A = this chain, B = another copy of it.
Amino acid sequence: MSAIQKKLEAASEQYAASFDKGHLILPPAKKYLVVTCMDARIDPAAAFGIELGDAHVVRNAGGSAIEAIRSIVISQQLLGTTEVLVVKHTDCGMLTFKNRDAYSRVREHLGPPAHAELTARSFDFLPFPELDEAVADDVEFLRDSRLVPEHVTISGWVYDVKSGKTRRVPDRPRV
């Protein structure tokens, strides 16, 4: 077993020893979903005040709402979620590269067949050049999507990894 695996097992023993939330049910009690980044510096429960059992939390590189749409539809259609918050963050890795950079890296480190697989799938790493615009784009995407009904409340936010503070990104005027 790796050191990381041992660490998980030890942490789990300790967590389970004082665990008293076994009564919680599947649907999120507060009926909301947070989409945020996989970044190691974000603890959504603590930073965004999510109590156990209250909300779905979806995380991926960049906090992409596009990639999260499968989870959002399941959450909304099957488990009753009525609100989605998209939280991206300062100093995000997705601001630092373009698809062609990631493609080159894959070709160099994983070889031409891995690179060819990316090309064949038109693989999009979903990087973005500007933070607030990326948040507003994701909010707009969800508002415009046929897969998300009008009555679902959507908002966009930015978490600051230096201060620990989260701020609202103003909505774009709707056309």
Contacts and interface: CB of A to CB of B under 8 A. Distances in A.
Interface string A89-125: 0010110110000100110011101100110000111
A59 interface: yes
B61 A70 contact: yes
A131 interface: no
Range class of the A interface residue count:
35 or more
Contacts of A28: 40
| Total copies of the chain | 2
Among A2, A40, A52, A153, which residue has the most Cβ atoms of chain B within 10 A?
A: A40
A41 B24 contact: yes
A74 B85 CA distance: 23
Nearest to A49: B11
- Majority SS of interface residues in chain A? mixed
A42 to B, nearest CB: 8
Contacts of A67: 60, 67, 70
Interface of A: 2, 4-5, 7-16, 19, 21-22, 24, 26-30, 32-33, 38-41, 43, 45-50, 52-61, 67-68, 70-71, 73-75, 77-79, 83, 85, 91, 93-94, 96-97, 102, 105-106, 109-111, 113-114, 117-118, 123-126, 146-147, 149, 153, 155, 157, 161-166, 168
